[in-house]
Every structure is written in structure tokens, then in C-alpha cells.
Structure 1
Amino acid sequence: MRRRSLQAAPQLFAGPMPSSSAEVVSLPSRKPILQFPQIDMEERYVSKLHPTWDYGAGVFLLIVAFLTVLGNSAVLAVAVKRYSRLRSPELLTVNLAVADLGMAISMYPLAIASAWNHAWLGGDATCIYYGLMGFLFGVSSMMTLSVMAVIRFVVTNSAKSNSNNINRKMICVTITLIWLYAVLWAILPLIGWGHYGPEPFGISCTIAWGQFHQSSNGLSFILSMFILCTALPAMTIIFCYLGIAWKVHKTYQDMQNFNRSSNGTKLDRKLTLMAVLISVGFLGAWTPYAAVSFWSIFHSSESLPKIVTLLPCLFAKSSTAYNPFIYYTFSKTFRHEVKHLQCCCGQKVHFSDTKNSFHSHVSVMWSDRGMVHISSVRKKGSGEGPNQ
């Protein structure tokens, strides 16, 4: 009897034997808080690209990160150096540099390491972090550009007395509102309206575009985000600069009729051209990525080759690098300040004369006009060289 009970014991753990008279008992199931597709978690973060593309993407992002940090650090250094002389609208340029620099520092190292690892590093935690940072800095940059366009429009079409009302306090409040707006949209996926997930090619993360068509909640998030964070700011930028272009054209015609052109008009045209190039560059860099993302909302992610989803993503990330080069090309003041920063660093050359026991320190300093100033200080040494 004891042997039969021991032999029957494994059957208690093996589940009920198939029988037509067996009763099925259903237990209530618990739904997970975050529902992901029924895919192996490791597979979601494995690169779907050829290793050559992974290495190439990593090298490209490394170059973009280097140029972004170098250029935008120069912008911030110049802004700090001449802070007291900055005009109020120029603070928006500083804010744009902060957003670009923040994206490069907080996101690109993780993306580069993941590309060279051929798989996303850190799983869900770093994926959410990466998507949140990208959304935060992307929205802040877009809103900053739209505010810049509005201010340029107001300055161009208003009297000088009215344009002077745009003071630093007003710009600082506007910048604060921009960041609060960006933070609000970035945390919405964390509280259940939308969510973050890996890109189709596996080694980057963003808003999970392809899963939103499965629910009205996700679709409402996408439509709201598209209208309030993309469409309206882009339309604002376009209409403002079209209005500015018309105003500048009329002013230029009036000046031609009188055979004169003021320095203020030339400067205004140059500043407007610089702002237009920055905005066009940003919109041009992000438009292919937005198009691919919206395609994935209504179609399967498998309908596009993985490389087609990678290239717009890399192109969009390059938008953080080229603004300083636009400033350097079109702004004589910025160009002068950058050269002055290089000159002020100076170089000290150390010469040792062991025969006469003298040490000579020569300081080389480039002046603003290209002149070279050399100063030398000779100190008598102890008579012992470094190798003695």
C-alpha cells in the first residue's frame, strides 16, 4: 500500500492524466503591468543588422558625438565669456546648444557601445532611459526653434521700441516653460499613455511606434504628440520665416529704390538666414525619421528593410552637430570669440640650458590681430639636469 502511494506521488505533480471525465479548474490570471509582445526579451534587443552596419553606425555616432561636444561646448564657452553682452534672443541659442550637448552626452555613448556589442545593453531599464532622454531633448529643441522663429518674426515686423520689450526675464521664463513642456511629454509614457521600446533594428530605443495601432490609448498618444510636438511647431517655424522673408524682401526693395542699404538691415538678413538654416537643418534631419516612424504605426515593422529604419535614425541624430558650424560661418562675432578662446589658451614652451644652468620659459600668445607676443623668463637652476 505504501509502495502504491509512492508510485502515485509523482502523478500529483505531473498534472492530471488525460481523461474524458477529468474536471478542468480555471484559475484567475494576473495581467502584467507592462505588456510586451510575446517575444523572447533577449531577441528584442539583438541587432537585426549585419555586423558591418553595426560597426559603421557606432563609428558614425562617435564622430557625431565628438563634433557635437566640441562645437556646442565652444558655443557655451563663448556665451559664458560674453554673457553680459548677450542679447536676450541669443539665450535661446544657448538653450539649443544645451539640448544638443545633453543628447550627445546622455545618449550617444550607450548607443555606440550597443552598436559595437551587436545588442542593446541594459535591457528594459536603459531602453526606457534612452527613449526618455531622446524624447526630452527632441521636444525641447523643437520648441526652442519655434520660439526662435516667433521672436525673429516679432523683431523683424515690429518697431524697435516694441522689439526691446523682449528682455532676459521674458526669455528665461520661456526657456523654463519649454523644459517643463518637454519633461511633461517625456514622462507621459512612464505613467501609461504610450510607452518606450526598441527600434526595429534592435540597437536603439524610442517611442514604440509599431505597437500603438493595437489600442486606442496608443493611437491617441501618437496623434496628440504629432499635433502638439511636431506639426504645430513646424508650421509655426515655416509661417514665421515666410513672413520674415517677405518683410526682408520688401525692405530690400525699398532700400534699392533709395540706393542705400543700412548695416542694420544687412545684419538682420544675416541673422534671419542663420536662423532659417538651423531650423531647416533640424526639420530636414528629423523628417525622414518621422516618416519611417509613422509608416510603422499603420504597417508591420517587417515591411521595411532594417537598414531603411537605421539610416533615418542616424541622420536625425546628426542634427546635434552642425549648428555650431552654422554659427561659425555666418556670425562674425562668434567666429572672433572662438579664435580668441583659442588664442587665450596660449602655449608655454620649456627650454633647459644645462651648460649655463638656466631654465627659460617662453610664453607664446596670439593677439586678436594675428600678432605674436613672446615673453621669456630665465631662472638660474641648481646645475643638475633631469638625467643627472
Structure 2
Amino acid sequence: MARFRANMSSDLKTNLVRVMNWSELQIEPVPRAAYVLLCIYITTVTVLALSANGLFIVTTFRSKNLQQPIHYVLRNLAVADFCSALLGGSVNITTNAKGYFYLGQTFCYLEGFLVGTFGIVNLTSICILSFSRYLVICKPFGTYVPSRKHAKYAMALAWIWALLWNTPQLIFGGYDLEGIGTNCGPVWNTKRVYIRVYLICFMICCFFGTVVTLAICYTKILMTIRETRKASSIRSKNSEKAERDVTKMVVNIMVAFLICWTPYVIVALAAVSNPGMRMNQYAGTIPVYFAKSSTIYNPIIYTMMNGKIRKELFRVFKKNYGGEDMDTSYESNRPRTNYMRGQSSC
């Protein structure tokens, strides 16, 4: 056993030396157990993300009850998460199994660019969802009725926005290994001033912009719902339950988003502000893999916790096993309060 461990350590160091020929980072080997734990973790995340997002994507194509504009945007979010898990997850599983990034610099750039693009599509789609709900419920510009045309424009905007922010990094900034060297991401610790300015703008527009949008939109939605309920002469249990459900959804969205993304942004900001800083490998690794869990919480919050979508998922599943006809409508039997009609299709 001791001889096996010695050989394994020697092989790992040899592989890391190979990687350092093209990487700007000085990667030091860590205990094999660290790679095993990360491999198990990312395998679990990938399987769950592919299953949850894949099921929702299939359901939206097969169910006539999920063809509203809001469902187009949700599908766009699910596609981005599915692609991120499929590419980034599968790569990270194999690299952690081997103990180093064995795919080379070209694939490192490709993975970093594509996963980064999917991530920004993810964040932009979340912003679009919150803003759409704000327009429908709060009516700041009068009655707004979302259309499929609007949804398609919004989906295109999400991908264009993501490409606009990730293409400069691909051309000018580059990508490198992060943490213990099994994942690729932007070179945050660059000493080039114009790249550092770009990275700061990137985080302000893509992360902090998302946080501000979510906070404003959902705060306005909660305030509108409460004011409508107080102004109503009839206070039913359904209206109170609807308010509690919306409050719970808002809290879940904000908490999950901040928990997943804040550690990574803090580490990235630290690297950008102090390029010469030598960061602990685990401190550079854990936030990266923590952010990848967003591909799981998105389908849970936006689909599994939504009563209508959850029922449609069950209907599609039942149909595949000879259950009831999935085109049967149940919306007519669903109790709704007046002020929630605007988001009944969400």
C-alpha cells in the first residue's frame, strides 16, 4: 500500500509538471482524497442537474399547458443549466478522477468560455424572469401581457449579452486553471490594467446587476401583493396563502443565489484587486464548485416548487407509463385570487 501511494504521488507530480508547462499557475499537489471528494460531489451535482433540467425541457416540449411566454424563458434557463452541467460537469468529473486537468490548454479555453457563457445566460434569464413578473404584477407601465415574441427576444438577448461579456475574455484575457487545477476559469489575477478594468465591469454588470434587479423586482412584487390584499374587502385564506407562497419563493431565490455565487465573486474580486496575492488552493477551489450547484437549485425553485409546472411534470411522467392524457386541462379547478391572476402562468 505504501509503495502504491508513493507511485501515485509521483505520477500526480509528473502530470502537474506537464500542466505547468502551459499554465501560469504554480499548482502544488494536494492529497488524493481531495480529488476523490470533489469527484463525488461534482458527479452528484451533474447527475441531479441533468435529470432535473432535462425533465423540465422535455416536459415543456410535450405539454400544451407549458407554452406560455414565461415557460420559454424558464426553458432557456434550463437549457443553459443543462449544457453547463453536461460540459463542465463531465469534464470536472474526469479531471478530478485523474487528479489534474489532462485535456490541455486549448480545451481549457473552450471549457472556460462555454461554461462562462452558460453561466451568464443563467444569470440573465433569472433577471428576465424577475422583471417579467414585476411588469405583470406591479403594472408600472400599465397592463402588460407577455407574448411569445417578447419571450423569444428576451431569450436572444440573454445569449447575446453572455457572448458580449465572455468573448473579450476569450480573446484578450484568457483562461487558466483554478484552485487545485481541475477546473478552468478566467485569469482573475492578471496584471494588465485594461483586463482588470474589464473584469471589474464584468462582475458589476453580471453579478451585482443581477442581485440589484432581483432585490428591486421582488421587493416591489411583495409590496404590491400586500397592498392589494389590504385594500381588498375580502380577505380569503387563498389570498393569504398566495402571499406566503410568494414570500417563500422570493426568500428561496435570493438566499440560494447569494449562497451559490457570493463566495466565488469574493475570491474573484480578491484576485483582481491584488494580482500578486498567493491564494490557498482550497480557497480557490471550494467557491468554484459551490457555484456549480446553481444548476440544481434553479430547476428546484423555478419549476419543482411551482404547482402548475410540478403537476405537468407528473402528467408527462404518467403518460409515459400509460397514465392520464396530458392535454386534459385542470386550470379551471385551480383557485386563484384576483391579484395573482397576472402570474398564473408563471
Range of TM-score over shorter length: 0.7 to 0.9
Tell me the matched-pair count. Answer: 307
**Contact 1:241-1:276 within 8 A present in 2 as well:** no
Distance 2:141 2:165 in 1: 36
Question: Which stretches of structure 1, 4 residues or longer, exceed 6 Å deviation after superposition?
Answer: none
What whole-Å deviation, never above 9, does each CA across 1:212-237 have from its counterpart, x for those lacking one?
A: xx121211211221222222222111
Which one has more relative contact order, counting CA pairs under 8 Å at least 6 apart? Answer: 2
**Change over 3 Å in CA distance of 1:303–1:270 after alignment to 2:** same
Counterpart residue number, 1:382: none
Give the CA deviation at 1:185: 1.7
Counterpart residue number, 2:182: 203
**Contact 1:71-1:321 within 8 A present in 2 as well:** yes
Counterpart residue number, 1:172: 152
**Contact 1:92-1:175 within 8 A present in 2 as well:** yes
Distance 1:171 1:276 in 2: 25
Distance 1:82 1:252 in 2: 33
**Contact 1:102-1:137 within 8 A present in 2 as well:** yes
What whole-Å deviation, never above 9, does each CA across 1:319-374 have from its counterpart, x for those lacking one?
A: 1012333356532222222222222222xxxxxxxxxxxxxxxxxx4458xxxxxx
1:81 aligns with 2:62: yes
1:298 counterpart (273, 290, 296): 273
Counterpart residue number, 2:283: 308
**Contact 1:153-1:241 within 8 A present in 2 as well:** yes
Counterpart residue number, 1:240: 217
Counterpart residue number, 2:297: 322
1:181 aligns with 2:158: no
Counterpart residue number, 2:98: 117
1:163 aligns with 2:144: yes
**Contact 1:198-1:206 within 8 A present in 2 as well:** yes
1:137 is paired with a residue whose SS is helix
Which residues of 2 match residues 12-51 of structure 1 at below 5 A?
40-41=21-22, 44=25, 48-51=29-32
Distance 1:110 1:100 in 2: 15
Which residues of 2 match residues 258-273 of structure 1 at below 5 A?
258-261=233-236, 270=245, 273=248
Identity of aligned residues (%): 24
Normalised to the residue count of structure 1, the TM-score between the two structures is 0.72
Gaps of 5+ in 1: 1-38, 347-364, 369-388
**Change over 3 Å in CA distance of 1:98–1:47 after alignment to 2:** farther
**Change over 3 Å in CA distance of 1:106–1:139 after alignment to 2:** same
Distance 2:304 2:200 in 1: 38
Task: State the one-letter code of the partner of 1:102.
Answer: C
2:143 is paired with a residue whose SS is helix
**Contact 2:87-2:115 within 8 A present in 1 as well:** no
Distance 2:167 2:271 in 1: 22
1:65 counterpart (35, 46, 64): 46
Tell me how large the CA RMSD over aligned residues is. 2.8
What whole-Å deviation, never above 9, does each CA across 1:63-89 have from its counterpart, x for those lacking one?
A: 000000110111112211224653212
**Change over 3 Å in CA distance of 1:80–1:275 after alignment to 2:** farther
What whole-Å deviation, never above 9, does each CA across 1:277-324 have from its counterpart, x for those lacking one?
A: 335423320111110111122336764321122111111001101233
Task: State the one-letter code of the partner of 2:214.
Answer: I
**Change over 3 Å in CA distance of 1:47–1:94 after alignment to 2:** farther
Give the CA deviation at 1:265: 8.1
**Contact 2:264-2:288 within 8 A present in 1 as well:** yes
Counterpart residue number, 2:3: none
Task: State the one-letter code of the partner of 1:342.
Answer: F
**Contact 2:135-2:141 within 8 A present in 1 as well:** no
Which residues of 2 match residues 114-153 of structure 1 at below 5 A?
114-153=95-134
Quick check: which one's strand share is greater? 1
Counterpart residue number, 2:5: none
Counterpart residue number, 1:23: none
Gaps of 5+ in 2: 1-19, 326-346
**Change over 3 Å in CA distance of 1:190–1:308 after alignment to 2:** closer
Counterpart residue number, 1:380: none
**Change over 3 Å in CA distance of 1:67–1:155 after alignment to 2:** same
Distance 2:240 2:148 in 1: 23
